[in-house]
Amino acid sequence: MAVGARSGHGEPERRPGDEGHPGETPRNPGGRPEPRGEAGPPAGDDPGGRPPADAGNPDEAPRTDAGRSDGGQPPGPGGDPEPARREPSRSRSFWKELPLLIGIALLLALVIKTFLVQAFSIPSESMQNTLQRGDRVLVDKLTPWFGSKPERGEVVVFHDPGGWLGETPAANNGPIGGGIQKVLSFVGLMPSAEEKDLIKRVIATGGDTVECKGDNQPVVVNGKPLDEPYIYPGNTPCSDKPFGPVKVPEGRIWVMGDHRQDSLDSRWHMEGDRFQGTVSEDDVVGRAVAVAWPLNRLDFLSVPKTFDQPGLNAAGAAVPPALGLAGALPVVLWRRRRIVRAAAAGEIVAAAAAGERVVGAGRRGIRARRRG
């Protein structure tokens, strides 16, 4: 029996413990027996005689087209390919950026609330039907920074001048609810539980004279009656509390609610007040410009046309005469100067005709005679 002859089944039979047997056919590192003689091409060789793709260095592992063994994964410390590395999850970066986004949003809300617009909630029915309880209004806080002052007909939010709201106990929301409300009110997303603000309509401003005699008579400002279609249906302008005439001090405003019979406004705070129920312009937070909530009540709060009627502005009525006087004064002075100069020139001509020597002439036509 020839040593190393192949069987008809390919690989020679091996038994456990036969490694290193003197009669065993030597094997290459790939596990196939070395060919001996011309028994035929080794398994895996191309019939055309070309060497296999992994021929060469027997210790080198087969490589892929990418130049890396075992599917392109680099070998680990023990020779086995390392598992594929996972890319970091993008959700992790989102959670890292979330606090920054929240901080920026709160900062923007604080800037908007302080300098631009602030939302206020309507707590009562004193401004019906213009405003309903629970409405959210947007208050302009930008224009006051540029010197804008409250005007007649505007709906304004102002701080309690003192005693208008009384001692209203604050609602107890607990430590957690109270803390959340403080944070949200600080950035303008909720009304503050500590601030006491009111909302009314401006009827008269500094320098105006306002009065209402009752008996369904209208409110009169600077002698002009107001047509007030915004008053709550069924109410009268002031039958429940007539007043006036009141001269509004400079820098202050006279305010009234649209629901006249359900509004404790300037009329009810005249007694014992040296300012006769008026509100300081410094207490005004800003003008309510729009109803923002609920959505079915979205609306702009414009100034009624009755406040644009001619002659209503007492200060403005004195402006044209003042301007006329200021424009006429230079003309009068100029004409007077011309008359004086003409008179002086006439005296000079007369003196020259009489043979007198004129030594000086001015506004009074001073001259002297020279004796003969």
- Report, as residue numbers or ranges, the catalytic residues: 126, 200
Query: What are the structure tokens assigned to 49, written together?
Result: 């005689």
**Cα–Cα distance, 117 to 112 (Å, whole number):** 6
Structure tokens at 355: 């043979």
Distances (CA, A) of 130 to 31, 152, 264, 305: 96, 16, 16, 15
Q: Cβ atoms within 10 A of the Cβ of 258, count?
A: 22
Give residues with Cβ within 8 angstroms of 143, minimum separation 6. 286, 287
Q: Are 214 and 260 in contact (CB under 8 A)?
A: no
Do 249 and 255 meet the contact criterion of CB atoms below 8 Å apart?
Answer: no
φ and ψ at residue 332, rounded to 5 degrees: -60, -45
Whose CA is closest to 201, among 273, 112, 287? 287
Cα–Cα distance for residue pair 9/30, rounded to 1 Å: 19
CA distance 326 to 372: 52
Placement of tokens 């003008």 in the chain: 287
Percent helix, strand, coil in the chain, to 5, is 30, 15, 55
Residue written as token pair 């089944």: 9
Task: In whole angstroms, give the CA distance from residue 199 to residue 128.
Answer: 11
